[in-house]
């Protein structure tokens, strides 16, 4: 679990997580061991009834983190309750943000074609990183897209597979 302090969020400062992951990236065995285990928490931004990944400052910080660490998704915990996919989708969504609705406790996210391509690009970076350290990217990508509509998840998976093969996205 990585606690992201308010001061880092407000300034979009990601250097601390970049340093940590650079060290981990240098050791393929450590990187493979940490795949899918990282959870980002923003305790000073969490409010009752608000989805933390819709907070504008958190969205900006997560966008910056994904830009500075293209393969960040490789390390994020894929379980829906951990929010990795929703954080990524919300950060990558352009204005006015991510279309969200609630069905009781379940959160439903509408993923446009443009957003699906943006998600696929980030997952492709993670998949290419996985291959570079002799890890199988397929389980990681399948787990990340699992919360999505099945057809959308399959489309993203196909785009990632093409990207890993060197085809343009």
Domain boundaries in the chain?
2-164
- φ, ψ (nearest 5 deg) of residue 148: -85, 165
- 32, 132 in Cβ contact below 8 A? no
Task: Enter the DSSP assignment of 148.
Answer: S
**Residue spans of beta strands (DSSP E) within 40-111:** 40-41, 100-103, 106-109
pLDDT range class, residue 151, cuts 50, 70, 90: very high
- 80, 42 in Cβ contact below 8 A? no
pLDDT in the model for residue 110: 78
Q: Is the peptide bond before 20 cis (omega within 30 degrees of 0)?
A: no
Task: Read off the pLDDT of residues 62-111 as tens digits, 9 standing for 90 and up.
Answer: 999 999 999 999 999 998 777 888 888 888 887 666 666 666 666 667 78
User: Above 70 in pLDDT, residue 36?
Assistant: yes
- 121, 88 in Cβ contact below 8 A? no
**Residue spans of beta strands (DSSP E) within 21-91:** 40-41
pTM of the model: 0.90
Mean pLDDT of 13-40: 96
pLDDT range class, residue 125, cuts 50, 70, 90: very high
pLDDT in the model for residue 130: 98
Mean pLDDT of 43-68: 85
Task: Read off the pLDDT of residues 132-145 as tens digits, 9 standing for 90 and up.
Answer: 999 999 999 999 99
Give, in order, the Cα–Cα distances in Å from 46 to each of 1, 50, 100, 153, 168.
15, 7, 18, 28, 38
Mean pLDDT of 48-66: 84
Mean pLDDT of 1-16: 93
Give 25's strand partners.
Answer: none
Mean pLDDT of 30-42: 94
Pick the more confident residue, 90 or 24. 24
């Amino acid at each position: 679990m990585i606690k992201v302090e308010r001061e880092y969020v407000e300034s979009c400062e990601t250097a601390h997580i970049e340093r940590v992951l650079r060290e981990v990236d240098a050791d393929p065995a450590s990187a493979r061991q940490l795949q899918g285990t990282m959870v980002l928490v923003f305790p000073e931004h969490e409010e009752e009834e608000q989805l933390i990944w819709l907070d504008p400052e958190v969205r900006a910080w997560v966008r910056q983190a994904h830009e500075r660490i293209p393969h960040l998704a490789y390390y994020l915990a894929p379980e829906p309750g951990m929010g990795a996919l929703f954080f990524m989708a919300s950060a990558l969504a352009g204005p006015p943000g991510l279309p969200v609705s609630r069905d009781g406790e379940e959160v439903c996210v509408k993923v446009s074609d443009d957003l699906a391509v943006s998600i696929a690009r980030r997952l492709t970076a993670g998949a290419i990183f996985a291959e570079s350290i002799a890890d199988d990217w397929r389980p990681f990508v399948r787990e990340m897209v699992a919360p999505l509509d099945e057809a959308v998840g399959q489309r993203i998976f196909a785009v990632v597979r093409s990207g890993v093969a060197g085809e343009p996205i």
